[in-house]
């Protein structure tokens, strides 16, 4: 029986319509069997491989040193937005426009080409997260910036043709309706109940338990009740915190362990599917708000939104988050 489910925080609806007879491991059979380990550790024309640093712009962040780096952050040469522009809105007749100001970074996560977060050590993943923090703090300091989005595209279906392990950070002067609307819902919830809607939601996910993938003292990973697509995973800090960059040292290490584990379960269990992940923080200036709670969403790209999804905004998910979470809980990491 198909079912409508509502996202507790955003009030968006999804349709859960499991395909008859299809089990979570059937997705693994359909996805590509090769792994990133099949590619070479060094590719001569890859701009992100160690040894090819002259093919990128100068680093804006490097760890631990330029000569022997693990993480190297550079400006995106092919960015849609440029940092030397003015974000002031102008009218073109009745229509609003502004110069395309923005700051776009590429976070090169590892010197070697044949790695991905799922196959790195936890210590290496932690250094990537520290790079995110450093760059988010630097972008927040620019008073033209209102929103910093950290994301990772893995594979062609997720929007990248570059194999080398990397993620991106884009700072924009605009907080779009897609981000603002859930904030308004969260403010409404806070005014009604005096509590953060995300704290309430993750508390309920932990209480129900059947969609939880793993839990540590500070974080929880689960497939949400109203997951939009098969194997959508979310990671939330248990303590209320509106922005990612405010995490403490110990928390970053703990998050690295959880992120690496969840990605490795997806990598091994579903055979290295393409995916996007996104870290959603409060807009700049709202970092200490009691309404918002930062989180990370991981979306394996094993289905493609079609006309109904694009037209209605109602996603049809063919794998229950309960089945997906059980599958990921039981997937062993070699
Ligand atoms: Zn490379
Ligand atoms: Zn909260």
Whole-number pLDDT of residue 98: 95
pLDDT at position 303 over 80:
yes
The CA 255 to ligand 2 mean position distance, Å, reads: 17
Does residue 154 have an active-site annotation?
A: no
| Residues forming a β-bridge with 72 | 62, 108
Mean pLDDT of the chain: 95
Q: Residue range 182-205: average pLDDT? A: 97
| Contacts (Cβ under 8 Å, ≥6 apart) of 25 | 269, 327
| Contacts (Cβ under 8 Å, ≥6 apart) of 265 | 213, 328, 331, 333
Three-state SS sequence of 99-143? CCECEEEEEECCCCCCCCHHHCCHHHHHHHHHHHHHHHHHHHCCC
- Residue 92, H or E segment: strand 89-92
Round to whole Å and give the CA distance between 268 and 169.
27
The residue ranges of DSSP E strands in 140-281, in sequence order, are: 147-154, 166-172, 212-215, 219-222, 233-237, 275-280
Q: Residue range 248-269: average pLDDT? A: 97
**Ligand at shortest distance from the CA of 44:** 1
pLDDT at position 30 over 80:
no
Lowest mean pLDDT: which of 21-25, 71-75, 107-111, 204-208?
21-25
| Structural contact between residues 109 and 169, judged by C-beta atoms closer than 8 angstroms | no
CA 148 to chain centre: 12
The CA 214 to ligand 1 mean position distance, Å, reads: 32
CA 102 to chain centre: 19
Whole-number pLDDT of residue 120: 97
**Per annotation, catalytic residue among 113, 166, 189, 293:** 166
Band (161; pLDDT cuts 50, 70, 90): confident
**Ligand at shortest distance from the CA of 111:** 1
pLDDT at position 37 over 90:
no
| Residues forming a β-bridge with 88 | none
Round to whole Å and give the CA distance between 71 and 132.
10
**Ligand at shortest distance from the CA of 39:** 1
Side-chain half-sphere CA neighbours of 314 within 13 A: 11
| Structural contact between residues 27 and 319, judged by C-beta atoms closer than 8 angstroms | yes
Round to whole Å and give the CA distance between 273 and 324.
14
Q: Residue range 259-268: average pLDDT? A: 97
Kindly report, residue by residue over 93-104, the tens digit of the pLDDT.
999 999 999 999
Whole-number pLDDT of residue 34: 57
Band (231; pLDDT cuts 50, 70, 90): very high
The CA 105 to ligand 2 mean position distance, Å, reads: 28
């Amino acid at each position: 029986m198909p079912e409508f489910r509502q996202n507790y925080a955003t009030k968006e609806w999804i349709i859960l319509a499991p395909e008859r007879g299809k089990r979570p491991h059937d997705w693994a059979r359909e996805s590509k069997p090769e792994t990133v380990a099949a590619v070479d550790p060094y590719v001569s024309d890859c701009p992100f491989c160690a040894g090819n640093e002259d093919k990128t712009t100068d680093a804006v962040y490097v760890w631990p040193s330029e000569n022997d780096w693990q993480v190297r952050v550079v400006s995106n040469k092919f960015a849609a937005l440029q940092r030397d522009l003015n974000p002031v809105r102008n009218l073109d007749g009745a229509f609003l426009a502004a110069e395309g100001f923005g700051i776009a970074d590429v976070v090169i996560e590892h010197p070697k080409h044949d790695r991905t977060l799922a196959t790195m050590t936890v210590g290496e993943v932690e250094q990537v997260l520290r790079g995110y923090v450093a760059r988010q703090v630097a972008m927040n300091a620019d008073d033209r910036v209102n929103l910093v989005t950290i994301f990772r595209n893995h594979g062609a279906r997720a929007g990248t043709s570059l194999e080398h392990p990397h993620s991106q950070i884009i700072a924009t002067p605009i907080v779009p309706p897609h981000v603002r609307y859930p904030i308004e819902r969260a403010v409404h919830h806070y005014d009604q109940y005096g509590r953060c809607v995300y704290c309430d939601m993750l508390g309920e996910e932990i209480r129900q338990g059947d969609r939880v993938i793993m839990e540590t003292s500070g974080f929880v990973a689960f497939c949400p009740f109203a997951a939009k697509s098969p194997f959508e995973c979310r990671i939330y800090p248990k303590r209320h915190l509106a922005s990612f960059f405010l995490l403490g040292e110990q928390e970053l290490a703990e998050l690295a362990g959880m992120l690496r584990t969840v990605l490795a379960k997806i990598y091994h269990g579903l055979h290295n599917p393409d995916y996007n992940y996104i870290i959603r923080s409060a807009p700049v200036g709202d970092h200490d708000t009691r309404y918002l709670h930062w989180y990370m969403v991981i979306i394996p790209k094993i289905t493609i939104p079609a006309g109904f999804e694009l037209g209605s905004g109602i996603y049809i998910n063919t794998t229950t988050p309960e089945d997906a979470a059980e599958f990921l809980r039981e997937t062993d990491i070699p």
